[in-house]
Amino acid sequence: MIRPLTHKLLIGVLLISGGVMAAQLGALLSIAHSNGLIADFNAGHTNKLSGFGTAAPEVRLAQAVSWQKQRRYEEALACLNGLLDTPDPALQATVRYNLGNLYLAQAVAKTEAAAFNDAIPLASLAKQAYRQALALDSHYWDAKYNLEVAMRLLPEMARINSEDDRPFNQTSQLWTTVPGFPRGLP
C-alpha cells in the first residue's frame, strides 16, 4: 500500500514539474520569437524592433547590423554602444568587431573623399574596437583581417626599431601621416 507521504510527494512532483514545463515552454516560445526577429533582421528586413530595451542582446545586435547595412550609422552606433557590457564574451567580441566595422567603413569613405581629418579618428576608433574584439577572442580571423586593413589605412606612428620598442613610449606619438591604402609595390 502506498503511504500517504508518497502520494503527496507524487502530487507535488507532478505540480512542480508541470509548472517548470510550462515555464520552459514559455521561454522556448520567447526564444523562437527572438530568433524569428534575428532572421528577419539578418535577411535585411527594415522593421523597427518594438520593446527594444527588453529585447535579448542578440536581437539588438541583429537590429544594429541591419542599420549598419542601411548606412544608418548613428542608430547602429547607439545600439552597439548599448551592448558593450554584454556579459557573454563571444557576443561582446562580435559587438566590438561590428563596432570596428562601423568606424572603419566610415573612415574608408572619408579617406576616399579626401576628408583625412575626419578619417583619422574614425580609423583610430576602429583599430581600438578590433583590438578589444581580439583581446576577447584571439582566433577572430575577420577581426584580425580588418584590423590589418585599418592599420594599412592608418599605420601606427611608431616604427619597429630599438628606440621605439621601449615600453610605453606611444604617448608621445603624433599623427604624422595621411591615411590611405598602398596602391602597389614600391
Binders in 2-61 for another protein, by CB under 8 A = 2-4, 6-7, 10-11, 13-14, 17-18, 20-21, 24-25, 27-28, 31-32, 34-35, 38-39, 41-42, 56, 58-59, 61
Q: Does residue 184 bind another protein (CB under 8 A)?
A: yes
CB atoms within 10 A of CB 32: 9
Report how far apart, in Å, the C-alpha atoms of 87 and of each of 84, 133, 158 are.
Answer: 9, 14, 34
**Contact range with another protein by CB under 8 A, out of 45-53, 115-123, 175-183:** 175-183
Pattern 94-123, another protein, x by CB under 8 A: x--xx--x--xx--x---------------
* Pairwise CA distance, residues 93 & 129, whole Å: 9
| Residue 83 · residue 61 · CB < 8 Å | yes
Reduced to 3 states (helix: H, G, I; strand: E, B; else coil), residue 84 is coil
Q: Does residue 183 bind another protein (CB under 8 A)?
A: yes
Q: Which of 106, 123, 149, 179 binds another protein (CB under 8 A)?
A: 149
Q: Does residue 165 bind another protein (CB under 8 A)?
A: yes
Q: Does residue 175 bind another protein (CB under 8 A)?
A: no
| Residue 97 · residue 135 · CB < 8 Å | no
- Write down the H helix ranges in 43-140: 57-69, 73-81, 89-112, 116-136
Among the listed residues 73, 135, 124, 120, the one whose alpha carbon sits nearest the alpha carbon of residue 98: 73
Q: Which of 46, 70, 81, 169 binds another protein (CB under 8 A)?
A: 169
Q: Cell triple for residue 43?
A: 535577411
Q: How far is the CB of 117 from another protein (least distance, A)?
A: 20
Q: Does residue 78 bind another protein (CB under 8 A)?
A: no
**Contact range with another protein by CB under 8 A, out of 46-54, 115-123, 160-168:** 160-168
